[in-house]
Structure 1
Amino acid sequence: MSPLETQTPAAPAMVRLPLLQLMLVGLQHVLLMYGGAVAVPLIIGQAAGLGREEIAFLINADLLVAGIATLVQSFGIGPVGIRMPVMMGASFAAVGSMVAMADMPGIGLQGIFGATIAAGFFGLLIAPFMSKIVRFFPPLVTGTVITAIGLSLFPVAVNWAGGGSAAATFGSPVYLAIAALVLGTILLINRFMRGFWVNISVLIGMALGYGLCGMLGMVDLSGLAQAPWVQVVTPLHFGMPKFELAPILSMCLVVVIIFVESTGMFLALGKITGQEVTPKMLRRGLLCDAGASFFAGLFNTFTHSSFAQNIGLVQMTGVRCRSVTIMAGAFLIVLSLLPKAAYLVASIPPAVLGGAAIAMFGMVAATGIKILQEADIADRRNQLLVAVSIGMGLIPVVRPEFFAQLPLWMSPITHSGIAMATLSALSLNVLFNILGGAERPVVAPTH
């Protein structure tokens, strides 16, 4: 082993925050990622023609696996878990492939779950090899990828702020006013208050926005009364999984893309928390991603990965201890057992989320720009690397149908702005700074 692999810096401290503060900051993480966490099972359940009750079961299953995976990723169990403040949830990278599988004769949900199990096992096998790529992520590449992550997330924030894609009057002044209230509250708290209040500024802003929506009759609680108080997620609820070669190959490709995305996210979080992410740490984190996907297939849900949007919340609040995401993981597990509580969280209007997300997703991009200051951006080739990679990352955001004529198996790459930017930055860094002999310096000069 190289010295880089054997020397592992201490994990972020398990800071003993007061219980109330710990719960509130953890709740912020849950509220931010909840919409993304439930979107994947909602989309796949509808594509598979499931009824409302079965889709609700899929959502609860996803919350359970996301909660357990978040606990393992944050706390660490043996050689698994990066031991950093990471939130886990169902990955969007596989949505296109899974929607297609749901319509295939003889595949359906059982085939999707079988492919997820097989791909998770494949990920466990390749994680140790994927962890060796840290050396290809100097500040030039890391900063570019993190900037692209923030920019690729920003359209989601704008869509939420305008009322969401399902809004009949997208961009209504009411939606914009609610998003502005949430954003303005966050900004004012960060300007005029300190400490605990800054840490929960996002939660306060969202609470005010939710209260206003409630008074305006914009909170939809339909289905709450019919939802059971307690429901336990059981494995193999939809029957034994099916293992078919084509779906398995497609999902294995998804796992590779998830690994590329997660590597960029882990390195971003390392910069925010002041930690050097070593190959050993990266291997632990990727093993958790793969293990979560393996067990997800058994527990009626889909491939899991780290959530990029929560990185912005870590930067925004300044709370960088693992105990916060451990608490958030516990919240997710409780929500998976209490469908009524999950309905309440799901009732948060998109405009409320949008006001908070504009600040947090922007913070991710700002972090990437800050890291790029460590690179030699005066070099024309490095400028070209940043420009092309960010441009490639924005293609799926600006025109999602741009690669529609390419083979379906490429969709996990071409539909992910993060994957496109990461692969571009890695390739151009090899071309410009590594090929042809000794590596060129890509770090900004100190004089």
Structure 2
Amino acid sequence: MSLDSPERSDSSHQFEENQITNKNPLRDVDYFPPLRKAIPLGIQHVLAMFVSNAAVPLIIAGTAGLSGADTVFLVQMAMFVAGIATLVQTLGIGPLGARLPIVMGTSFGFVPVMIPIAANQGLPAVFGGALIGGLAMAVVGLCYRRLSVFFPPVVSGTFVLLIGILLLPVGFAYVGGGVGAEDFGSPHHLLLAALVFVVTVAFHQFCRGFLSEAAVLIGILVGCVAAAPMGLLDFSRVAEAGWFQLPIPFEIGLAFDPAAILAITLMAVVTCAESIGDISGTAIGGAEREPTARELSGGVMADGLSSSFAALFGAFPQISFSQNVGLVALTGVASRFVVALGGGFLVLAGLVPKLGALVSAIPAAALGGAVIIMFGMIASAGVKMLSHARFNKRNMLIVGVSLALAIGLPAQSGLYQGAPQQIGVLLESGLIPGALASIMLNLVLPRADDDPATTGPAEP
């Protein structure tokens, strides 16, 4: 369907969505389950992303040599901003927000770029670059209908597939006890992760109703109970944390360094591909339909302006969290109001440090047993998206080259050791070279006679 008639496209998607949700209300993004179900399902989303959301400020704070109090402040702001961004993304404000079950959080994709900036120019330069980079993302979202030629199904499906594949090593790092753990890979970590994995799969596949929908939450709770006698539950941070603290804008400050702005803005524009992939994965995995152009445009705009808002409050760029895309696909609960409740919990966690400290006490291995399932579901959602593209030799080459670059380059960093640092960190991410390759090949390779020039999300 041509993008020259977006209203027609959106109405057809709405008709398809209505057909699906008449069969299963849980697949309806506008369905509001009873609170007794919605609240724990929302908390389940928070548990899936909480540690990852806190990891980025911890890494950057260590690089910048911040004090303990400043580090706690960065973690607190990461929670508060993620909650606000999630509310905007799920509930919407005017044209902003996809109005889909999308959990927002601190992007790992920016970490390789932000580390050298934080070490050399300081955190204010990071936040100044993030402010400008967020505005650049918002412009991409605003112009999405014109730019959608860059993101047909073969490209967006490849993005989602790459996201799932590249996140799997992160998930297995959790399984081993977390990166940097002194006893990484110890049997107790592996057994705990295996327990959570088995419980999650068992409840998801062999139970019905709420027990199936909350499989990840149940798996993590069982893991926490099992971790207690192992001595893996540490509540010392809860005792040390305060009860209430308001967010403080400009606490860290802003500085506009040209090199920092260029590096972070480039990353922000490329990250739009990840955002589009996550939005598409959420719509397909949760609502069992393709996203509309309005959802994609509003979602990317919300990502960008949320990142600029985050910079003002001492938080890092925001992006839809891929593990929660997997959680939506895994549970089959596509209600945006469930995720909005999770966003409210994140705001509360940002205002009440003790609450955030309590959630962060979950052992890494317990989370690992659940997230490897979610990340695998993201990759399978990418395969499902690719099924809407014809697998002729042209499209197979696009997918194959993108996979080769995204997986091969990070594994052999010696190939680009002589490159400038900013180029090196872009190549090391894997996702950026893979995404750029799929976009460029889609533009330059000739189309086959049986391959229509689809310029937007394909219709199933």
Deviation at 1:24, TM superposition (A): 0.9
For the Cα contact (< 8 Å) 1:130–1:259, is it kept in 2?
A: no
Q: 1:257 to 1:411 in 2, by over 3 A?
A: farther
1:167 equivalent to 2:188? Answer no
Tell me which of 432, 437, 443 is aligned to 1:419: 432
Tell me which of 199, 209, 214 is aligned to 1:185: 199
Deviation at 1:396, TM superposition (A): 5.2
Partner of 2:50: 34
Q: 1:396 to 1:266 in 2, by over 3 A?
A: farther
Partner of 1:370: 384
Measured in 2, the distance between the counterparts of 1:148 and 1:67 equals: 26
Q: 1:268 to 1:433 in 2, by over 3 A?
A: farther
Deviation at 1:421, TM superposition (A): 2.5
Partner of 2:320: 306
1:91 equivalent to 2:107? Answer yes
For 1:43-101, what per-residue CA distance to the aligned partner results, in whole angstroms no more than 9, with x for missing partners? 11111111111101001111111100010011110011011111111112221222212
Deviation at 1:173, TM superposition (A): 1.6
Deviation at 1:130, TM superposition (A): 4.3
Partner of 1:269: 282
Partner of 1:395: 408
1:256 equivalent to 2:272? Answer no
Q: 1:235 is matched by which residue type in structure 2?
A: P
Measured in 2, the distance between the counterparts of 1:433 and 1:215 equals: 62
SS at match of 1:59: helix
Q: Normalised by the size of structure 2, how large is the TM-score? A: 0.89
Measured in 1, the distance between the counterparts of 2:49 and 2:142 equals: 28
Measured in 2, the distance between the counterparts of 1:310 and 1:131 equals: 26
Partner of 1:144: 158
Partner of 1:2: 4
SS at match of 2:155: helix
Q: 1:226 is matched by which residue type in structure 2?
A: E
Deviation at 1:131, TM superposition (A): 4.7
Deviation at 1:163, TM superposition (A): 1.4
- Once the two structures are overlaid, the 10-residue window that deviates more, 257-266 or 56-65, is 257-266
Partner of 1:347: 361
Measured in 1, the distance between the counterparts of 2:425 and 2:208 equals: 42
Q: 1:283 to 1:63 in 2, by over 3 A?
A: same
Q: 1:24 to 1:319 in 2, by over 3 A?
A: same
Measured in 2, the distance between the counterparts of 1:144 and 1:433 equals: 19
For the Cα contact (< 8 Å) 1:68–1:333, is it kept in 2?
A: yes
Partner of 2:393: 380
Measured in 1, the distance between the counterparts of 2:192 and 2:133 equals: 42
Partner of 1:236: 250
For the Cα contact (< 8 Å) 1:97–1:408, is it kept in 2?
A: no
Partner of 1:408: 421
Measured in 2, the distance between the counterparts of 1:18 and 1:346 equals: 27
SS at match of 1:225: helix
1:428 equivalent to 2:444? Answer no
CA-atom RMSD, angstroms? Answer: 2.2
For 1:197-223, what per-residue CA distance to the aligned partner results, in whole angstroms no more than 9, with x for missing partners? 000011001001111111211112223
Measured in 2, the distance between the counterparts of 1:180 and 1:270 equals: 30
SS at match of 2:53: helix
- Once the two structures are overlaid, the 10-residue window that deviates more, 162-171 or 334-343, is 162-171
SS at match of 2:319: strand
Partner of 1:210: 224
Q: Normalised by the size of structure 1, how large is the TM-score? A: 0.91
SS at match of 1:305: strand
**Equivalent residue pairs, number:** 437
Deviation at 1:412, TM superposition (A): 5.8
Measured in 2, the distance between the counterparts of 1:259 and 1:248 equals: 17
Percent of pairs with identical residues: 37
SS at match of 1:216: coil
For 1:309-328, what per-residue CA distance to the aligned partner results, in whole angstroms no more than 9, with x for missing partners? 11100000000110111011
Measured in 2, the distance between the counterparts of 1:145 and 1:408 equals: 24
Partner of 2:20: none
Measured in 1, the distance between the counterparts of 2:152 and 2:127 equals: 37
For 1:319-346, what per-residue CA distance to the aligned partner results, in whole angstroms no more than 9, with x for missing partners? 0110111011001000001111111111
Q: 1:119 to 1:149 in 2, by over 3 A?
A: closer
For the Cα contact (< 8 Å) 1:154–1:361, is it kept in 2?
A: yes
Deviation at 1:390, TM superposition (A): 1.6
Partner of 2:343: 329
For the Cα contact (< 8 Å) 1:289–1:304, is it kept in 2?
A: yes
For the Cα contact (< 8 Å) 1:5–1:278, is it kept in 2?
A: no
